[in-house]
Amino acid sequence: MEAASLSEVDAQASLDIDRTDRRVELLLGALASTILLLIVGMIVFVFLKALPSFTHNGLAWFGWGGSVDEQLMNIFNSPADPSDYVYHLRAFPLLYATALITGVSVVISIVFSALSGIFIVEFAPNRLRRTIEPVVKLLAAVPSVIYGLIGILVVVPWVADHLISEGRKESVAYVIQLDGTSILVGIFILTIMICPIMIAIIVDALRAVPEKWVEGAAALGVNRWRAMRTVSLRAIRPAIVAALVLATARALGEAIMLSMVAGSVGFSPNPLDGFTFLLEPARPLASTIVDNAEGLSVAPFGQTMYAFAAILLISSFFLSFAGWAARKSFSRYTLGAR
């Protein structure tokens, strides 16, 4: 038989190439889609597992009433018969602790990080700048258990010795024991933990502000601080939002460190106690899960833990979405800027 013509050979070759390309593309695409499957699976499974806890308590799940730790103990001690499972829970103290610790830490650290970022980029002497930048990047990578260790071995005893007098202890002894593990230490160390990430993002963003805007502000007779505040900080708003989202996500999910230093009691610190309010312990959702990890095999207890995880999941979704929406709204004024 006559050999196939050259163009037929070529056509066949390119068809083969197309086919392998197509196959590779499909393979890789399927692999990428497994991420989506994973997330959907995670949401579905966690919520399914959590459902009984929510349905048995209704909206009161988010409310308060009684001691959370007692309620958890009761759930753990449920009788073996599924129809007798105890689900009663009023999770407000845990939600309150999460919101309080996360919120205050994030607010303090965004202010601190913005000011530190401005210092590093604009006002720091050169040698100091060259030293502090790598150190900040390093601090961002330090494991949370090390922060927790320093917290529980250094800061907590210091607080117990210097800030908690006998009188103070007496004043709240009927409700709670003050032993140094407190929201004060928790917020303090959490702030230190999340600042390095924020500072790194802010410093990179400040450096990327176009020189021409900085020069333009200087040429108008605006001093360095004002120029930084009104032009640079404004220009890096998307980066600030990104830093906020990242830091809040880290703060929300911080389980180990807070379990070590903020106390292992599901207590709601009472602002009406004045300064003592800061010295009272609390335990956010993530720490509650970690502290109670051994009981996961008991059905209703495990389901309650998954309910906490479900709340954390919703919060982190909401956070990502809020960040995306905020960054969209900032793009209006930077049309064609770069």
Partner 1 sequence: MELKEEQSQNGSASAGSVPPLRRIVVESETVPIRVGDYAGPPDPNYGREPWQMAAGNDAEPVWIEERMRTEDLSIAYGDKRAVKDVSIEVNSGEVLALIGPSGCGKTTLLRSLNRLVELTPAAKRTGRIILDNQSVDEFDVTQLRSRVGMLFQQPNPFPMSIFDNVAYGLRERGSKKPRRKQLEPIVVDALERAGLWDEVSSNLNHPALALSGGQQQRLCIARSLAVSPEVLLLDEPCSALDPISTSIIEDTIVELKSEVAIVIVTHNLQQAARIGDRVAFMYLGDMVEQGAAGQVFGAPREERTQEYVGGGFG
Partner 2 sequence: MSVDVRTAAPGPRPGPKRDSRPPSRGHGSPAPIRHETGWSIGDRIGLVAAWCCGISLCVVAAAIVLFMAAKGLQFLHLDMLTSSPQASLDQSQTGGFLDPLEGTLLLTIIGIVIAVPVGVAIAVWLTEYGRPSGLARLVESGVEIVAGTPSIVLAIFGLLVFQQSFMGFLSFTAEGGAVFGRSFIVAGIMMALIALPLVIGSTREALNTIPRHVREASYALGKDKASTIRRVLLPSARSGIATGATLGMGRICGDTAIVVILLGASMQTTPESGPFGLLRGTGSTLTSYVYNNSPAGEGNAPEKAYAAAFVLLIIVILLNFVVGLIGKRNKPQWN
- Stretch 223-252 residues interacting with partner 1 (CB under 8 A): 223, 226-227, 230-231, 234-235
* Residue closer to partner 2, measured from CB, 131 or 165: 131
Q: Are 253 and 308 in contact (CB under 8 A)?
A: no
Among the residue ranges 10-18, 56-64, 189-197, 329-337, the one whose residues contact partner 1 (CB under 8 A): 329-337
Assess 148 for contact with partner 2 (CB under 8 A): yes
Question: In the 8-state DSSP scheme, what is residue 81?
Answer: S
CB of 240 to partner 1, least distance (A): 14
230 makes contact, choosing from partner 2, partner 1, none, with CB < 5 to 8 Å by partner type, with: partner 1
Among 68, 94, 104, 118, binds partner 2 (CB under 8 A): 118
* Residue closer to partner 2, measured from CB, 176 or 262: 262
Among 4, 9, 15, 138, binds partner 2 (CB under 8 A): 138
Q: Who's near 92: CB < 8 A, 6+ residues apart?
A: 62, 63, 64, 68, 268
Q: Are 101 and 251 in contact (CB under 8 A)?
A: yes
Nearest to 145 by CA among 199, 94, 189: 189
Among 9, 15, 115, 218, binds partner 2 (CB under 8 A): 115
Alpha-carbon span 135 to 151, nearest angstrom: 20
69 makes contact, choosing from partner 1, partner 2, none, with CB < 5 to 8 Å by partner type, with: none
Q: How many residues does the chain have?
A: 338
* Residue closer to partner 1, measured from CB, 1 or 220: 220
Residue 208's SS3 state is coil
Tokens of 144: 């949370």
* Residue closer to partner 1, measured from CB, 59 or 219: 219
Q: Amino acid identity, residue 322?
A: A
CB of 338 to partner 2, least distance (A): 16
Assess 217 for contact with partner 1 (CB under 8 A): yes
Question: In the 8-state DSSP scheme, what is residue 210?
Answer: -
Q: Who's near 271: CB < 8 A, 6+ residues apart?
A: 277
Q: Taking the CB of residue 158, how many other CB atoms lie within 10 A of it?
A: 11
Check the CA dihedral 51-52-57-63 and report its sign.
Answer: negative
Residues 18 to 77 in contact with partner 2, rule: CB under 8 A: 20-21, 24-25, 28-29, 31-33, 35-36, 38-39, 41-42, 45-46, 49
Which residues here bind partner 1, judged by CB under 8 A? Answer: 210, 212-213, 215-223, 226-227, 230-231, 234-235, 332-337
